[in-house]
Amino acid sequence: MHVRPALYADLPGILEIYNEAVLNTTATYDYEPRTLEHRLAWFEEHLKNDYPVFVSQIEQERIDVWSVLNLFQSRAGYHITTENSIHSAAVELG
């Protein structure tokens, strides 16, 4: 497994994992899948604000896991806190 900072080229894989969770779980609290344009703006906002996005790959062809730090709360008392989200691709067992 190789963990590294996310690149623009990773956004389709990040989006695929995220949208799978939107459609099949309650983990995201989104009700509609996101678009690649939305994910691009999200990624650029994270880069601008120094909130890292990481990806992990078991095989080079696909993103298996991604992780991101997000602003936790905008209130002043939370200025040194973040929310860490980790999303993984579905894995078949058995």
pLDDT in tens, 40-71: 999 999 999 999 999 998 877 788 999 998 87
Any idea where the domains of the chain sit in the sequence? 2-88
As a dihedral over the C-alpha atoms of residue 6, residue 8, residue 14, residue 19, rounded to 10 degrees, the angle is 150
Q: What is the pTM of this model?
A: 0.85
- Name the CATH topology of 2-88: Aminopeptidase (3.40.630)
Contact 71, 36 (CB under 8 A): no
Average pLDDT across the chain, whole number:
88
Q: Which of 19-23, 52-56, 88-92 has the lowest mean pLDDT?
A: 88-92
When pLDDT is averaged across residues 14-42 and rounded to a whole number, the result is 94
